[in-house]
Amino acid sequence: MADARIEVFRRMLEADPANSVVRYGLANELMKVERFGEAIAEYRTYLSQADDQGAAFGRLAQALDRTGDLDGARQAYQDGIAAAQRHGHPGMAQEFQMALDDLG
């Protein structure tokens, strides 16, 4: 089932590679099946295309953490905090700060 959803997202991106909403959906589906390397690539592409309000940075940080890239995870959380603050989401910024503190 998950592979079918992933394939649908991939086909939609073939038709419209600039569709950031579809790309974010693909990245989330890849996270669900723990294909973290692919998810990281999709989140990074999404973030290069969209002015994310913070959530994608948090998901990217989680994926990086799962692959052992703690420096990358720290940076993603810091970028997420900045994005959340820029978009008026103090609760999200606080959540990311707590996650960042937990990384050590």
50-61 pLDDT tens trace: 999 999 999 999
List helix spans (H) across 1-104: 2-15, 20-32, 36-49, 55-66, 70-86, 90-103
The domain segmentation of the chain, as residue ranges, is 2-103
Nearest partner of 36 among 76, 81, 91, judged by Cα: 76
What whole-number distance in Å separates Cα of residue 65 and Cα of residue 94?
Answer: 18
**Token duo for residue 30:** 């890849």
Consecutive 10-residue averages of pLDDT for the chain (104 residues): 92 96 97 97 96 95 97 98 96 96 88
Q: Are 100 and 77 in contact (CB under 8 A)?
A: yes
In CATH, the number for domain 2-103 is: 1.25.40.10
Mean pLDDT of the chain: 96
